[in-house]
């Protein structure tokens, strides 16, 4: 068996092992831990990019490498690298726990990489559980803010309940198809979707990934966990886990084939509920991370419009949206982390005077939230346009109309955030926010990606189309 195609997974395993060892020895200083994590995740990003062209089936055909999985692995590697870039001043996590923090961050990324390559039900389940347990431990690592324990317990309880439902769904699928391989299920499921056993089994199986995506009705954990976790942990949950969930939901829905019409009305109702509930509740939020949590619930609905079209164009739109969501959500959390230098949660009103204290951060916030809102010429606009176009071609006019109304609603609360940064005056004079030159460079690069990806989407969309062809 060739091992070179598996180099990204092997590399991230070794990187996680390094921090596992560091967690067992006396602390050597947070600065050294951060630089080491930065170096290791940058190496992982380069290796993941180099492995983009690899393909093949491994480990008795339970593990598949193709452009689809390699593209998502690159996004995951980029996600963890970007999050580590925000950890130069890791507030909220005790200094003697930094090795555990980086260990769980990298191990969680490895688990998600396995998840997007798994083409067998038990492998999928084990990878999802490994991802979940890393996150269950990362959330309560925060200290000194009083809400981390409640968030951690709520996340764990909802997570294990969803896991039980998912496991029941997997058992039903196995009972109906007598195979745990996705390739085997692909042959029989499209002809068995009329069976209640298969229908319920697939729906229950999807629920595990609905939970990760914070998709209605498995969204209840999102606002509390977003608020309770350290800012960098919330950024990780809000970016990387969403990318992995989109990948596997796309693969599983594609598995059911175009003949699975009974599933579509349910997915449509859930997408509408997710968009509407997320946006309406976000309107009254004052805590910025809770607002982004409800925004994530709404965006899960937008992504699902592309997935439920069950067409190559819809899948390509969803993959492009995963890239866009990673870029625009990271830009918003970058501002949250740098503005809340002490690790506290931010109220929207605390952004007052941001344009005076740091014009660069204010511009990043404006572009990040405009991109989330889908305003041109940002990458968020192009992502929504591609998804809505695919849905229109499939005849889902009413769904696109409802989504557009939701986009307008979301613009109101995104505008409130931008208004606070540019038009509200702080109650007292505050000093400028210091930004290091690497942070300034990172902001500029992310701004270029957010605008460049919207104006010139051909390269990213071409990649998304090529990946989508592999799951149709």
For residue 116, is pLDDT > 60? yes
Q: Supply the Cα-derived Rg of the chain in whole angstroms.
A: 21
> pLDDT of 218-237, one tens digit each?
888 888 888 889 999 999 99
431 DSSP assignment:
P
Q: pLDDT tens across 339-359, in order?
A: 987 788 899 999 998 999 999
pLDDT at 256 over 80: no
pLDDT at 182: 84
Residue 68 vs residues 231, 316, 434, 453, 472: alpha-carbon distances, Å: 30, 10, 40, 19, 11
Comparing CA positions, the residue from 333, 412, 328, 342 lying closest to residue 372 is 328
* pLDDT higher than threshold 80 for residue 326: yes
Of 170-174, 256-260, 329-333, 388-392, the one with minimum mean pLDDT is: 256-260
Strand pairing report for 56-58 and 63-65: antiparallel
Higher-scoring residue by pLDDT: 56, 116: 116
pLDDT in the model for residue 145: 67
Query: Mean per-residue pLDDT for 443-464?
Result: 94
For the cut 70, the answer to whether the pLDDT of residue 425 exceeds it is: yes
* Number of neighbours of residue 423 by Cβ within 10 angstroms: 10
230: left (phi over 0), alpha (psi -120 to 50) or beta: beta
- Per residue in 363-404, pLDDT (tens digit) is 999 999 999 999 989 999 999 999 999 999 988 999 999 999
> Residue 361, Cα to own-chain centre: how many angstroms?
22
pLDDT bucket at 82, cuts 50 / 70 / 90:
very high
Q: Which two tokens stand for residue 193?
A: 């979707």
Q: Is the pLDDT of residue 212 over 60?
A: yes
Average pLDDT over residues 116-134: 92
Q: Looking at residue 342, what is its pLDDT?
A: 79
Tell me the average pLDDT across 115-141. 91
The helix (H) or strand (E) run that includes residue 174 is helix 148-177
Select the more confidently predicted residue: 425 or 40.
Answer: 40
Burial 217-236 (b: 16+ CB within 10 A, else e): ebbebbbbbbbbbbbbbbbb
Residue pLDDT, tens place only, 237-248: 999 988 998 998
Q: For the whole model, what pTM was predicted?
A: 0.94
Cα-based torsion angle of the residue sequence 335, 339, 342, 344 in order, rounded to the nearest 10 degrees? -70
In the chain, what percentage of residues exceed pLDDT 90? 56
What's the whole-number mean pLDDT along residues 276-292? 93
DSSP state of 377: T
Residue 261's pLDDT is what? 64
Q: What is the pLDDT of residue 259?
A: 54
For residues 424-451, one letter each, b for 16 or more C-beta atoms within 10 angstroms of the residue's C-beta and e for the rest, the string is beeeeeeeebeeeeebeebbeebbebbb
Q: How far is it, in rounded angstroms, from Cα 278 to Cα 288?
A: 14
Q: If pLDDT is split at 50, 70 and 90, which confidence band does 52 have?
A: confident
- pLDDT for 260 equals 58
Q: Taking the CA atoms of 398, 394, 305 and 447 in sequence, report the sign of the dihedral they define.
A: negative
Contact between residue 197 and residue 175 where contact means Cβ atoms under 8 Å apart:
yes
| pLDDT of 27 over the 80 cut | no
Quick one: pLDDT at residue 278? 93
DSSP secondary structure string for all residues of 435-465:
--HHHHHHHHHHHHHHHHHHH--HHHHHHHH
Confidence of residue 257 (pLDDT cuts 50, 70, 90): low
**C-alpha triplet 225, 227, 231: angle, nearest 5°:** 100
Is a pLDDT exceeding 90 seen at residue 308?
A: no
258 pLDDT band, cuts 50/70/90, is: low
CA distance 55 to 61: 12
Whole-number pLDDT of residue 73: 95
Q: How far apart are CA 246 and CA 81, in angstroms?
A: 20
* 41/123 Cα distance (integer angstroms): 25
Average pLDDT, the chain: 89
- Residue 116: name the closest of 178, 189, 48 by CA: 48
Average pLDDT over residues 422-436: 87
- Average confidence (pLDDT) over 290-309: 91
Dist. CA 472–CA 465, nearest whole Å:
11
Write down the H helix ranges in 86-147. 98-117, 121-138
Q: What is the mean pLDDT of residues 294-305?
A: 92
Cα four-point dihedral sign 112, 113, 116, 120: negative
Residue 302, pLDDT above cutoff 90: yes
Task: Please determine, for residue 437, whether its predicted confidence score (pLDDT) is greater than 80.
Answer: yes
Euclidean distance between CA atoms 341 and 395, whole angstroms: 48
Terminal Cα-to-Cα distance of the chain (whole angstroms):
28
Neighbour-count burial of 469, counting CB atoms closer than 10 A to its CB (0-12 exposed, 13-18 middle, 19+ buried): middle
**pLDDT, greater one: 145 or 462:** 462
């Amino acid at each position: 068996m060739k091992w070179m195609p598996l180099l990204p997974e092997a590399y991230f395993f070794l990187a996680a092992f390094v921090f596992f060892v560091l967690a067992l020895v006396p602390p050597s200083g947070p600065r050294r831990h951060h630089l080491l994590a930065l170096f290791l995740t940058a190496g992982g990003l380069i290796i993941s990019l180099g492995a983009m062209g690899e393909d093949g089936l491994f480990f008795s055909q339970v593990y598949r490498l193709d452009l689809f999985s390699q593209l998502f692995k690159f996004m995951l590697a980029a996600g963890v690298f970007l999050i580590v870039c925000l950890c130069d001043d890791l507030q909220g996590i005790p200094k003697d726990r930094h090795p555990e923090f980086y260990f769980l961050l990298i191990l969680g990324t490895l688990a998600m990489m396995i998840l997007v390559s798994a083409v067998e039900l038990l492998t999928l389940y084990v990878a999802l559980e490994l991802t979940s347990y890393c996150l269950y431990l990362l959330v309560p690592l925060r200290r000194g803010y009083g809400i981390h324990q409640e968030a951690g317990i709520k996340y764990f309880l909802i997570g294990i309940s969803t896991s039980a439902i998912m496991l029941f769904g997997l058992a039903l699928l196995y009972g109906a198809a007598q195979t745990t391989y996705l390739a085997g299920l692909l042959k029989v499921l499209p002809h068995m979707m009329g069976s209640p056993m298969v229908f319920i089994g697939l729906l229950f199986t999807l629920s595990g990934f609905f939970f990760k995506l914070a998709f209605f009705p498995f969204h209840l954990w999102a606002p509390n966990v977003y608020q309770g976790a350290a800012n960098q942990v919330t950024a990780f949950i809000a970016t990387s886990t969403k990318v992995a969930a989109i990948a596997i939901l796309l693969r599983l829905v594609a598995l059911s084939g175009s003949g699975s019409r009974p599933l579509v009305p349910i997915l449509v109702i859930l997408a509408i509920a997710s968009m509407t509930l997320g946006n309406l509740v976000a309107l009254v939020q004052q805590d910025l991370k809770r607002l982004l949590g409800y925004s994530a619930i709404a965006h899960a609905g937008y992504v699902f419009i592309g997935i439920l079209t069950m067409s190559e164009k819809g899948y390509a739109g969803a993959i492009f949206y995963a890239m866009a969501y990673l870029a625009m959500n990271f830009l918003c959390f970058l501002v949250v982390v740098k503005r809340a230098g002490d690790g506290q949660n931010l109220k929207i009103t605390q952004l007052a005077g941001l344009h005076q204290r740091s014009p660069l951060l204010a511009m990043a916030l404006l572009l990040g939230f405009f991109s989330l809102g889908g305003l041109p010429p940002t990458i968020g606009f192009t992502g929504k346009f591609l998804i809505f176009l695919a849905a229109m071609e499939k005849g889902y006019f009413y769904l696109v109309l409802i989504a557009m109304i939701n986009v307008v609603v979301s613009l109101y609360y995104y505008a409130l955030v931008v208004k606070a940064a540019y038009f509200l005056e702080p109650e007292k004079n505050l000093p400028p926010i210091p930004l290091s030159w690497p942070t300034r460079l990172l902001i500029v690069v992310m701004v270029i990606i957010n605008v460049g990806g919207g104006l010139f989407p051909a390269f990213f969309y071409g990649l998304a189309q090529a990946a989508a062809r592999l799951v149709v």
